[in-house]
Structure 1
Amino acid sequence: MTMSATARRWSFVTAVVLALGLALPTVAAAAPPSNDDFDTATAVTALPYTAQGDTTEATKASDDPWCDYSNKSVWFAYTPVADVMLRATVEAGTQSTLSAYTGARGELAPVPDACRGSSASRPAVITFRAYAGTTYHFMVAGYADQSGPVSFALQEVEPAPNDDFADAEPVTALPATRAIDLSVASTEYDEPLPTCAYESRRSVWYTFTAAETASLVASVADSGEHTVSVHTGSTLPALTEIGCARGDSFEEVLFRATAGTTYHLRVAGPATAATLTFAEAPPLRPYFIASSDPTIYELTHFTGYTGESGTPIAGGEWDFGDGTVVAATEDGVSHHYTADGTYTVRLSVVSPDGRTGSHTSTVTVSTHDVSISRFSTPSRATAGDTEEIAVRVTNTRYRETVTTTLYRSRGEYWDVVGTLTLDVPVGRVVTFPFAYTFTDGDAVAGKVAFRAVVTLPYPVRDARPFDNELISTGTTVRPAPAGA
């Protein structure tokens, strides 16, 4: 193979360049930002502070902390000379993250609740209590593989006036509602964890001194995992929690406030808005449910309720209207009425927090009882014969309209022979007359049984249905005589 003229010319030019030590032109690489690394964080010396930057050429160190898929990062550092509430904000044209830390490299501790993400339309904002002499490092990073221009701002903001336990806001009248911004709240170092919370979060405090003994209820409406807890005690270490409720579970703290006692209410949670509601507990509205269609032949079961979800019956009594009174408990009770009639039943209840209430209603005991006293069927018959079958029904309590249905056996099944509906007076025996013509099929089977069933018209219920059905002994059936 021979080299072409063009190839020989390029080979010659390359050789000349190499021989003369000339460099071919290259594209210069852009340098990362000066605060690309934790060790070269930009020192913030005065507030308010604003800086413009770009994370496009930033890098990610192997020991950079994690915050919501943070990647390329730049760093800022600030050491307050006094205890302050700091608010850091990052705005970017793409998704980014903002987080804050204390401690030395390799031993960084994240500031609680201080990791946020931003979008092109929503900045990332973190607010927290900073302490004098402590250096806080802020990491501004791209989300995943995104990067670009960013704006970082740091300023001092006023904390919530009732951020600390010692500065709790007094509640002087009920009902009370408070709109709360927990983004300007913090957690004190010796603040106990609410029993219904998963972790210690920023909080604000309220106090209430009961002028008289009463049942009170506190709840918090929120868009996150906020809690409201009620305590007694004069210092944070000495607090005793009375109750705790979560806003995302629609719970309430219900407690009995004693006259002259001061109660501390804490609303805690993430740096978002919440609403505290504190009021006297509403009156109980108890009610009960009794067994349907009670009779004298069975126990009537009663189930009582306070009328308030989650509030059990702690005391009280049942008055069944027949001279019987028993204690009310969380479990239901059963009572035996010995005579038919309409009884006025009263349920009085006491809740665990001391509230009382009552409910009165009537219960009608009505005992209906009919039975089959005799079932007459032939002992033998011949195919083609029509025989009488009698069902005698007795009634001991009320005049009844009774329906009797007669069935004929057919293997595992029953065929309807006929149905009669008659009036049955009290204390009388009424015969329901039926007639049945035996068939050649009955003769082939050899025997036929009959079944009688009596029923009362709905919604009347027979109190003792076990005697409302009888099956006869078998009737022997012979074939018809030849030529008959």
Structure 2
Amino acid sequence: MCTGVVALLMAGPVAALAAPESGDLALTAVNDDFAAALPVDALPYANVQDLSTATAEDGEPTSCFGATRTVWYSYTPTTTGMVTAGTGPDYPGIAVYTGSSLDSLSEVYCRPLYGYAPVTFEAQAGTTYLFRTGADFAEQVTFRLDVAPDPEVDFSPPGYEPSEFDTVAFWPSVHDPAGLGIASYRWEFGDGTTSDAQFPRHRFTADGDYTVRLTASTVDGRSRTAAHPVVVRTHDVSIVRLAVPSTARVGQALGVTVTVRNTRYAENVEVRLHRGGPYGYEQVGVETQPVPVKAAGNGTTFSFRYVVTADDRAAGKITFRAVAAVLQNRDALPADNELLSTPVRVS
């Protein structure tokens, strides 16, 4: 046996002996009795036996299951490690013993009929282990033995580009095929911080390309690591000025300017200009243009023209609203993408 954990798998292809031919079904299973236990020489191991010709031997222990059809296997590891037992179909029982005769067996582990989970235990180098498996109504049984696989480990990275203001939730997908269970989770977020939570939430405090790693360990120390890249980009623009004249008259074409500030990444920005009315705001203009990165205090100007109407004179004033939207990317702080003007008095 290789150093490490050994597993009797519950499913998978048969690797050792082929199923008996139909003409051989009248023959008794070759390992029907304790004394005829088939030796497992190397791992991985798989063997098919015809249970319909097998019987339970007089004096056979029942352990956690009794069955009228049973077969036996033996295994002596050369190094110490964990072992697991499984069958196909997966409902027959499996009992594991040490001892040299039926009346001197000591039970190591037992899975009852319809127990389904694999049998996993630590096998000591030089100790012979006897496996009894069977069920009353199974026609054939496949016995499998292998080094226990590492846990299956993965997680879902965020499906979007988080910003430095976002708290990202991570969801692991972890399973121990050997059946002992997961004992610990270790997250490394690539920014020098870690977490031992199963479902951590993490905020990246600076833009960058990070590799997030999850290492999950079983109760007996087997482990595996999964890694995914996480790209953090903070896209953010803001409207810092909405300039309008203080007064206007009917028929006048007003000049309205909107100043958009951007200090992070070059963006394509759409600005919509709205006019206030008795039923809320209605759009009166839209402009899209590239907004390059500029130092704080500088911005990009969007220019609009609006012709004053008789309805504006009836209201006595006009209030404009400007709304900016980053195209192709998600704005991290949309609250500062909107600005109202001072009222323009209309005469």
What TM-score do you get using the length of structure 2 for normalisation?
A: 0.70
RMSD: 4.0
Cα 1:193–1:310 shift into 2, 3 Å:
closer
**1:392–1:431 Cα contact (<8 Å) kept:** yes
Counterpart check, 1:384 vs 2:254? no
**Residues 379-422 of structure 1: CA distance to partner in whole angstroms, max 9, x if unpaired?**
77555343233322222323333222223457367446222323
Q: Which residue of 2 aligns with 1:182?
A: 51
**1:254–1:281 Cα contact (<8 Å) kept:** no
Q: Which residue of 1 aligns with 2:338?
A: 469
* Secondary structure of the corresponding residue to residue 456 of structure 1: strand
**2:250–2:313 Cα contact (<8 Å) kept:** yes
Match of 1:315 among 184, 200, 225: 184
1:174 deviates by 1.4
1:255 deviates by 2.6
* Amino acid paired to 1:183: S
1:432-471 pair list within 5 angstroms: 432-440=302-310, 450-458=320-328, 460-470=329-339
**1:305–1:313 Cα contact (<8 Å) kept:** no
* Amino acid paired to 2:264: R
* Amino acid paired to 1:323: G
1:377 deviates by 5.0
* Amino acid paired to 2:123: T
Cα 1:272–1:444 shift into 2, 3 Å:
farther
Q: Distance in 2 between matches of 1:310 and 1:456?
A: 50
Between stretches 232-241 and 335-344, larger displacement belongs to: 232-241
* Secondary structure of the corresponding residue to residue 303 of structure 2: strand
Higher Rg of the two aligned structures: 1
Q: Which residue of 2 aligns with 1:429?
A: 299
Where in structure 1 are there 5+ consecutive unaligned residues? 1-126, 128-156, 479-484
* Secondary structure of the corresponding residue to residue 239 of structure 1: strand
1:280 deviates by 1.6
**Residues 276-315 of structure 1: CA distance to partner in whole angstroms, max 9, x if unpaired?**
2222233456444333313222334444455766876433
Counterpart check, 1:349 vs 2:220? no
Q: Distance in 1 between matches of 2:299 and 2:161?
A: 25
Q: Distance in 2 between matches of 1:384 and 1:160?
A: 103
**1:187–1:201 Cα contact (<8 Å) kept:** yes
Q: Which residue of 1 aligns with 2:201?
A: 334
* Amino acid paired to 2:133: V
Q: Which residue of 2 aligns with 1:277?
A: 144
Q: Distance in 2 between matches of 1:212 and 1:398?
A: 59
* Amino acid paired to 2:122: A
**Residues 229-267 of structure 1: CA distance to partner in whole angstroms, max 9, x if unpaired?**
3534556995353656969xxx66163533235444343
Q: Which residue of 2 aligns with 1:59?
A: none
Q: Which residue of 2 aligns with 1:396?
A: 263
1:449 deviates by 5.2
**1:226–1:267 Cα contact (<8 Å) kept:** no
Relative contact order, CA 8 A, sep 6+: which one is greater? 2
Match of 2:62 among 163, 185, 191: 191
**2:152–2:177 Cα contact (<8 Å) kept:** no
* Secondary structure of the corresponding residue to residue 297 of structure 1: coil
* Amino acid paired to 2:210: Y
Counterpart check, 1:253 vs 2:118? yes
Aligned residues: 311
Cα 1:439–1:309 shift into 2, 3 Å:
farther
**2:212–2:228 Cα contact (<8 Å) kept:** yes
Percent identical = 34
* Amino acid paired to 1:227: P
* Secondary structure of the corresponding residue to residue 335 of structure 2: helix
Where in structure 2 are there 5+ consecutive unaligned residues? 1-24
**Residues 141-170 of structure 1: CA distance to partner in whole angstroms, max 9, x if unpaired?**
xxxxxxxxxxxxxxxx76434335565433
What TM-score do you get using the length of structure 1 for normalisation?
A: 0.53
Q: Which residue of 1 aligns with 2:12?
A: none
**1:454–1:468 Cα contact (<8 Å) kept:** yes
Cα 1:242–1:387 shift into 2, 3 Å:
farther
Q: Distance in 2 between matches of 1:370 and 1:477?
A: 32
